[in-house]
């Protein structure tokens, strides 16, 4: 079975593994990228976790709140020279204003509307510019945090939580920016995510040649660590690591309804 070079390049980019090993993984998994990533992890030769944590593209992340809406936007370019340019920043602000004014979350509509302006900027700067993604949250009770225009977080809470703890909720947004949880709690994690990680840890543990009881303890420990790392409420709170986020939320009587986090370049790694 032959695979085109783009598929091999994509797997190399996501795992940091050599061409021959990528070809072998793709062959074994019939061209399925996600299964190939898991295969390489199980073989102990994937560097995907480190690669995927890096932001490889330049650009800007913006957040704007207006009336009952909060919008987050990512626009990518190739160099920080362009990302710092005034004209690029004016363009980016025009885009986010259009999104929030029209309450849009469909990135294709945004891209189509600004295509002519984008092409003009591409011609002027001589490098690619992409309106990468956006999301509009319609909730009055939101708090946002923006770190160096590279990481943005919007947190939505209940009305009572917002009125009493608006300033403290920004600390939660800062925590999310720093710790990068994927879900609010364990109950929010899709079974497919847990099952996928369990299969990987099961096969990795089998290689240790332990007895069944030892294997069970090792897998449980690995899974507990995995779940705690990706669920917000189980993470140590960055401003007081002796407590979990769940504990500080309970102390402040804060109920988080949802959150969204963008980090520059992460969608393209």
**Residue ranges for the chain with pLDDT beneath 70:** 1-3, 46-56, 268-269
Distance (Å) of CA 1 to CA 23, 25, 28, 31, 33: 10, 12, 10, 9, 15
246-265 tens-digit pLDDT: 999 999 999 999 999 999 98
pLDDT at position 3 is 65
pLDDT at position 268 is 61
pLDDT at position 231 is 97
CATH code for the domain defined by 5-52: 1.10.8.10
Does the predicted TM-score (pTM) go above 0.85? no
pLDDT at position 54 is 41
pLDDT at position 254 is 94
CATH 3.30.479.20 domain span(s) along the chain = 58-183+250-268
CATH 1.10.8.10 domain span(s) along the chain = 5-52
The domain over range 58-183+250-268 is classified in CATH as 3.40.50.1980? no
First to last CA, the chain: 26
């Amino acid at each position: 079975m032959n695979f085109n070079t783009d598929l091999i390049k994509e797997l190399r980019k996501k795992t940091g593994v050599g061409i021959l090993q990528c070809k072998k993984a793709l062959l074994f998994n019939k061209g399925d990228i996600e299964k190939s990533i898991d295969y390489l992890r199980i073989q102990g030769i994937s560097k995907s976790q480190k690669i995927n944590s890096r932001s490889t593209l330049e650009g800007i992340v913006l957040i704007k709140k207006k009336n009952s809406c909060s919008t987050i936007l990512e626009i990518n370019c190739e160099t920080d020279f362009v990302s710092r340019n005034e004209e690029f920043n004016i363009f980016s602000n025009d885009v986010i204003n259009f999104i929030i004014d029209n309450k849009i979350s469909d990135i294709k509509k945004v891209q189509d509307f600004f295509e002519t302006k984008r092409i003009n900027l591409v011609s002027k700067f001589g490098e690619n510019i992409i309106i990468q993604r956006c999301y509009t949250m319609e909730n009055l009770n939101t708090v946002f945090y923006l770190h160096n225009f590279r990481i943005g977080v919007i947190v939505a809470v209940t009305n009572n939580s917002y009125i009493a703890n608006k300033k403290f909720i920004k600390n939660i947004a800062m925590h999310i920016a720093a710790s990068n949880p994927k879900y609010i709690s364990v109950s929010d994690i899709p079974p497919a995510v847990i099952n996928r990680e369990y299969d990987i840890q099961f096969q990795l543990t089998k290689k240790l040649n332990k007895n069944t009881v030892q294997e069970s303890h090792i897998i449980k420990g690995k899974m507990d660590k995995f779940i705690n790392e990706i669920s917000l409420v189980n993470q140590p709170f960055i401003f007081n690591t002796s407590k979990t986020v769940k504990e500080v939320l309970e102390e402040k009587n804060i109920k988080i309804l949802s959150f969204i986090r963008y980090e520059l370049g992460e969608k393209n790694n």
